[in-house]
Amino acid sequence: MAEVASPALSQAPMLQLHQLNAWYGESHVLHGIDLRVMKGEIVTLLGRNGAGKTTTLKSIIGVMSKRSGSVKVQGIETIDLPSRKIAKLGLGYVPEERGIYASLSVEENLMLPPRVKDGGLTVSEIFTLFPNIKERLSSQGTKLSGGEQQMLAMGRVLRTGADLLLLDEPTEGLAPIIVDQIGLALKELKKRGFTVLLVEQNFKFATQIADRHYVVEQGKVVDQATNDDVLRDESKMLKYLGV
Ligand SMILES: Nc1ncnc2c1ncn2[C@@H]1O[C@H](COP(=O)(O)OP(=O)(O)OP(=O)(O)O)[C@@H](O)[C@H]1O
């Protein structure tokens, strides 16, 4: 399979996976994932349920019981590093379930994660990106809508200094107006030089924001395409997704 040209081939990739394998206990789930993401790119992992997209993100942050192969973050090999050291390279993971602490207020949730790197967004920059968070600052985590939880989960990670964001289905279950807000925030973050790898089932959303796409099937990357190619002919990609 030929590599799709990236906009900035001269730089070291922000993230590069080579022959990444991962296991849940005895269960071998990833079978040699190869992909790379350049600084400032928004790249998606597309594929059917159970293909291994979430597991790929979990393997990048080093929380699987076993993984092998190569995971380089800005050229640094992380395959033998513990997850807390990997996070310090600037990784910010937002899981599908968003991980908002129900017993804490929005403000407490926002301030909770430790900084991983210099240059995190200030609280006021986070409010500009996600005004809803400011309005709900003293609310309890449990009182938030799904969209507010997603924005808080993203804002929280941006405060830590993470500049490589790993987002698992950020738009899942959200109203179209909130999906649009998340899309605008991601475009703004891209302008500021953030790099994003996201798992996305919402094909329309994915093609509105992404530069490139990888298709995952049975724990492997089986195809890739630039967003321009996908927009020219959606049929191949939709076939992979069974749409
Ligand atoms: N905690 C776990 N223990 C054992 N197997 C798991 C676990 N989590 C996921 N799996 C299995 O690993 C495979 C890949 O799952 P993964 O969650 O990465 O898929 P996905 O592409 O993200 O799809 P989905 O959108 O359904 O989450 C599936 O066969 C799934 O059943």
Tell me if 9 is assigned to some domain: no
What is the edge-to-edge ordering of all strands in the sheet holding 212-217?
91-94, 164-168, 195-199, 42-46, 212-217, 220-226
Does the beta carbon of 29 lie inside 6 Å of ligand 1? yes
- Could you report the per-residue pLDDT of 8-18, keeping only the tens digit for each? 445 789 999 99
Tell me if 5 is assigned to some domain: no
Domain containing 194 equals: 15-241
Does the beta carbon of 59 lie inside 6 Å of ligand 1? no
pLDDT of the chain along its 243 residues, tens only?
555 555 444 578 999 999 999 999 999 999 999 999 999 999 999 999 999 999 999 999 999 989 999 999 999 999 999 999 999 999 999 999 999 998 899 999 999 998 989 989 999 999 999 998 998 888 888 889 999 999 999 999 999 999 999 999 999 999 999 999 999 999 999 999 999 999 998 999 999 999 999 999 999 999 999 999 999 999 988 999 887
This prediction has a pTM of 0.93
Does the beta carbon of 51 lie inside 6 Å of ligand 1? yes
pLDDT for 142 equals: 80
In angstroms, rounded to a whole number, what is the distance separating the alpha carbons of residues 108 and 32? Answer: 39
Exposed e or buried b per residue across 131-153, where buried means at least 16 C-beta atoms within 10 angstroms of its C-beta? ebbeebeebbbeebeebbbbbbb
The CATH code of the domain that includes 222 is 3.40.50.300
- Could you report the per-residue pLDDT of 36-93, keeping only the tens digit for each? 999 999 999 999 999 999 999 999 999 998 999 999 999 999 999 999 999 999 999 9
Smallest CA separation from ligand 1 atom 6, residue: 24
Beta bridge partners of 166: 93, 197
Tell me if 66 is assigned to some domain: yes
Tell me if 4 is assigned to some domain: no
Name the domain count of the chain.
Answer: 1
Break the chain down into helix, strand, coil percent, rounded to 5.
Answer: 35, 25, 40
Question: How far is ligand 1, taken at its centre, from the CA of residue 55, in Å?
Answer: 6
Query: How many beta carbons lie within 10 A of that of residue 9, not counting itself?
Result: 9
Phi, psi (degrees; rounded to nearest 5) at 88 = -70, -10
Query: How many beta carbons lie within 10 A of that of residue 82, not counting itself?
Result: 10
